[in-house]
Chain A
């Protein structure tokens, strides 16, 4: 990390200490901000990112120990160093217990301060690297989650392999939870751009002004709170892939700005004049009916055609039920490892239930159901009772509103629940076995 990439915040109510520390750090080339109390510090921490915060322990209203706790709530990875006038064992222990990297007693020896800051930067670098590597590993692991032997999924994978070799713009369509981001990552991982980053922006998650700043970045002073120049996602995606998730949700103004960038691959940061050239591949995703949106005028036709060069439709899970056992066993294995639990299988009855369910939340919902079951399960096998469906009932809904429709659905539900154990089902339904057989016959119920 170069010194100018390191941002330090000095919080001290004593102006001479605050300023002398700030000047000292500036001579090393660090970016430095000062705050005269905890409230100003917290405001600055909300507006900008800092790597290291030096906090005076004794300040009016909110002291350094309390401020440090609040800082860790904002970002637990920020390095905090406590400044104290009198080093006492109690304050040092308290500060370290609360997560301080170290503390200094003022006045401090220049060499000691210099070494401490270098160590703090190294610690910060290691934390950042660790987070990055974890992300990379998760990214690699997540690619394994594209599982399916159904014809529909085989076709998707063929399309991924075909398009990855090109530099075409890709649009991924599919219901929520079908794994659109995974497919985008798979395309990136198989493309020639794989050694550069894939940068994801969830277009639906930001209000317009913020989305603009996220995409284009900003110059120092571009708006209130823009204390530093900041690169946007477009710049970060240079040479790699830009994944625009929920692209159907952006405003008409942003659609126009985005179209311009996609056509020219040039833009300026907010509040800046310098034209920045970028080179990235665009993959977008949406679950919105974009054709309808174009007809209604809420989505630009030119942007639609620009994004929709190559389309991959992801089938909902209910249309590839044959992949459910494969996905289920994959998730069991994955969570067994991460939760350190010896769960190896799922009962036939439980799997039947999963096969019958409509999965409105698709693979993401299946993943969540298995994760939850893995928490609940007592032995080595997931049973029906371990399954919990959050979105809707896994049991068949009555096909109509007559008493017979309701009875048919209820009997099917109990049969599924008991794994078609007739004795047990009859017991629950409080009818004899013969009556149950008759009802099964009458309603033509099948496993």
Chain B
């Protein structure tokens, strides 16, 4: 049976991702598992000028190092991600592909000089992880208020949306 693999990619802070695994399994009705991969090399994707990590290149690494029974593979990291045209991204995924990545770096209140809030961080991570996995199902940004596929360019946008798909996006996930 194929599986959604969650790959922790930590540089400084480590997080327990069990809550995320269980939520992903519930939402996508698929077996989800934490997969520790030693083949992800963050140094090779670091841009010293930007002091950030190229998320597209991490996706390439995830794609070339995944278990045979992979249904989807989602990297979760604590480093700050970017794609060349943008100043930062919360995450990235292949549209209609199998891989995605999400970063907790800018989901953490600490980044904005606010007191840490672990529960809020978990909520944000769940939403962004589901959002990126949604893209791998071919879903594009959705305009239905509250849908998890709403585009988020600020962390406040993430707080505004729910961790659920709207009925249209949900039907697409269920196929």
Contact = CB atoms under 8 A, between A and B. Distances in A.
Interface of A: 3, 14, 16-17, 19-21, 23-24, 26-29, 106-111, 113-114
Contacts of A24: 83, 85-86
Given A20-B56, A114-B153, A107 B140 contact: no
A28 B140 contact: yes
Interface residues of B, number: 18
A201 to B, nearest CB: 34
Nearest to A110: B153
23 contacts: A17-B84, A19-B56, A21-B85, A23-B56, A23-B83, A23-B92, A24-B86, A26-B95, A26-B140, A27-B151, A29-B140, A29-B141, A106-B84, A106-B85, A107-B85, A107-B87, A108-B85, A110-B87, A110-B88, A110-B89, A111-B153, A113-B86, A114-B153
Contacts of A106: 84-85
A29 B142 CA distance: 9
Interface of B: 50, 56, 82-89, 92, 95, 135, 140-141, 151, 153-154
B154 to A, nearest CB: 6
B160 to A, nearest CB: 14
User: Which interface residue of A19, A23, A27, A28 has the most chain B CB atoms within 10 A?
Assistant: A27
Nearest to B135: A27
B82 to A, nearest CB: 7
A16 B141 CA distance: 22
Contacts of B140: 3, 26-29
Given A106-B85, A108-B85, A27 B141 contact: yes
A28 B95 CA distance: 11
Nearest to A54: B85
User: Which interface residue of A14, A108, A109, A110 has the most chain B CB atoms within 10 A?
Assistant: A110
A22 to B, nearest CB: 9
Contacts of B56: 16, 19-20, 23
Contacts of B86: 20, 24, 107-110, 113
Given A107-B50, A107-B86, A114-B151, 5 more contacts: A23-B95, A26-B140, A27-B141, A108-B87, A109-B86
A10 B131 CA distance: 25
Contacts of B85: 17, 20-21, 24, 106-108, 113
A27 B50 CA distance: 24
A29 B172 CA distance: 14
Contacts of B153: 109-111, 114
Contacts of A107: 50, 82, 84-87
Contacts of B95: 23, 26-27
Contacts of A27: 95, 135, 140-141, 151
Nearest to A15: B84
B41 to A, nearest CB: 19
User: Which interface residue of B86, B92, B154 has the most chain A CB atoms within 10 A?
Assistant: B86
Contacts of A19: 56
Contacts of B82: 107
Nearest to A83: B85
Given A26-B140, A28-B141, A111-B153, A16 B135 contact: no
Contacts of B87: 107-110
A25 to B, nearest CB: 10
Q: What 5 pairs across the A-B complex have the smallest Cβ distances? A: A29-B140, A111-B153, A20-B83, A16-B84, A110-B153
A240 to B, nearest CB: 30
Nearest to B83: A20
A20 B54 CA distance: 11
Contacts of A17: 84-85
B112 to A, nearest CB: 15
A106 B154 CA distance: 18
A136 to B, nearest CB: 29
A27 B100 CA distance: 13
A16 B47 CA distance: 13
A28 B140 CA distance: 5
A106 B50 CA distance: 12
A184 B87 CA distance: 56
A269 B53 CA distance: 46
A30 to B, nearest CB: 8
Nearest to B141: A28
A124 B144 CA distance: 23
Nearest to A2: B143
A23 B154 CA distance: 19
A3 B83 CA distance: 22
A107 B85 CA distance: 5
Nearest to B92: A23
B169 to A, nearest CB: 12
Given A23-B95, A26-B95, A29-B140, A111 B83 contact: no
Contacts of B84: 14, 16-17, 20, 106-107
B96 to A, nearest CB: 10
Contacts of A109: 86-87, 153
B149 to A, nearest CB: 10
Contacts of A14: 84
Nearest to A114: B153
B156 to A, nearest CB: 10
A87 to B, nearest CB: 14
A29 B141 CA distance: 7
Contact of B154 (A16, A28, A111, A113): A111
Nearest to B55: A20
